[in-house]
């Protein structure tokens, strides 16, 4: 995998050619700042969840843990928030490919999580979280969709791709940056047996950001994945969730999904080849 040129991602230059955020701050200090953002978000989510504020636990952490701190750090340096983190308007072809990638990634990611969850003790805390997140009516579904489908994807992509992957990319090879940022993304989700599946999702998100240099596309994939997960959770009975009765993945659907995913990623690679 070759390195990107300076057109891709935050490369340390502002819109006027002056040093941007990644050129003005020590990159490893930015990682410390990112870790502080993660602690803020996870602590706030935990406090709100334990106090029964489930909806707020998926809305406020993304705002006050990720979006607001990263907005402040760019504004203090008189930089464009959307420009620094490449939150640009998507083009039609790339957006279509990204939607296909998001849809095709769901089954392989879930299958990998199922494989590592199989025959392992059920995590009662994780079950309780799923039950709490299961929508209880239309308004609850809408509020959870706002948190999981808009605010959380934006906040997490700003942190894990916009900051962490960008810092890694400036200090190591592109392949290493993609892998390590995906591992950090998965580990920070905290549940042991979903780490392999979330790592695969993180690799896809990181690769799309690497190829396009536009964070908007990673946010789109993350949002679509979360919204589908919420929709599926809404359709499960509480008994199914409590008993952890997820059926084994179908080999045929897994094969089709994987082929479509790889084909869409290959098309994205060709589509963005002229920009590298």
Over the stretch 30-47, which tens digit does the pLDDT of each residue have? 999 999 999 999 999 999
Q: What is the pLDDT of residue 231?
A: 95
Give the distance between the most distant pair of CA atoms in the chain: 58
Contact 142, 64 (CB under 8 A): no
Give the model's confidence band at 275: pLDDT under 50 very low, under 70 low, under 90 confident, else very high.
low
How many angstroms from the chain centroid is the CA of residue 129? Answer: 19
Give the model's confidence band at 3: pLDDT under 50 very low, under 70 low, under 90 confident, else very high.
very low
Q: What is the pLDDT of residue 100?
A: 98
| Residue closest to 254 by CA, chosen among 182, 180, 193, 200 | 200
Give the model's confidence band at 10: pLDDT under 50 very low, under 70 low, under 90 confident, else very high.
very low
Mean pLDDT along residues 45-61 = 96
Over the stretch 86-136, which tens digit does the pLDDT of each residue have? 999 999 999 999 999 999 999 999 999 888 877 677 778 888 999 999 999
Query: Which residues does residue 19 pair with via DSSP β-bridges, in sequence order?
Result: 13
Q: What is the pLDDT of residue 106?
A: 95
Domain assignments of the chain as residue spans, ordered by start? 21-275
Q: 3-class secondary structure for the chain?
A: CCCCCCCCCCCCECCCCCECHHHHCCHHHHHHHHHHHHHHHHHHHHHHHHCCCHHHHHHHHHHHHHHHHHHHHHHCCCCCHHHHCCCCCCCHHHHHHHHHHHHHHHHHHHHHHHHHHCCCCCCHHHHHHHHHHCCCCHHHHHHHHHHHHHHHHHHHHHHHHHHHHHHHHHHCCHHHHHHHHHHHHHHCCCCHHHHHHHHHHHHHHHHHHHHHCCHHHHHHHHHHHHHHHHHHHHHCCHHHHHHCCCCCCCHHHHHHHHHHHHHHHHHHHHHCHHHC
């Amino acid at each position: 995998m070759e390195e990107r040129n300076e057109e891709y991602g935050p490369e340390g230059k502002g819109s006027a050619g002056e040093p941007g955020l990644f050129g003005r701050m020590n990159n490893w200090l930015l990682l410390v700042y990112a870790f502080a953002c993660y602690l803020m978000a996870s602590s706030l989510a935990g406090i709100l969840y334990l106090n029964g504020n489930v909806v707020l636990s998926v809305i406020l952490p993304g705002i006050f843990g990720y979006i607001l701190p990263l907005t402040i750090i760019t504004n203090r340096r008189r930089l464009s928030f959307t420009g620094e983190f490449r939150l640009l308007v998507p083009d039609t072809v790339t957006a279509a490919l990204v939607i296909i990638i998001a849809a095709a990634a769901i089954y392989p990611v879930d299958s990998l999580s199922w494989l590592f969850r199989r025959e392992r003790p059920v995590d009662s805390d994780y079950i309780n979280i799923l039950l709490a997140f299961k929508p209880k009516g239309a308004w609850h579904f809408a509020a959870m969709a706002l948190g999981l489908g808009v605010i959380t994807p934006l906040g997490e992509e700003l942190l894990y791709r916009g900051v962490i992957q960008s810092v890694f990319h400036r200090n190591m090879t592109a392949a290493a940056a993609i892998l390590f940022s995906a591992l950090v993304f998965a580990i920070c989700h905290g549940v042991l047996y979903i780490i392999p599946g979330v790592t695969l999702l993180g690799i896809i998100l990181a690769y799309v950001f690497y190829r396009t240099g536009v964070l908007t596309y990673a946010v789109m994939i993350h949002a679509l994945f979360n919204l589908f997960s919420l929709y599926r959770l809404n359709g499960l009975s509480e008994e199914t969730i409590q008993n952890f009765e997820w059926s084994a993945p179908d080999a045929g659907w897994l094969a089709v999904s994987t082929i479509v995913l790889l084909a869409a990623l290959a098309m994205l690679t060709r589509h963005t080849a002229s920009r590298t």
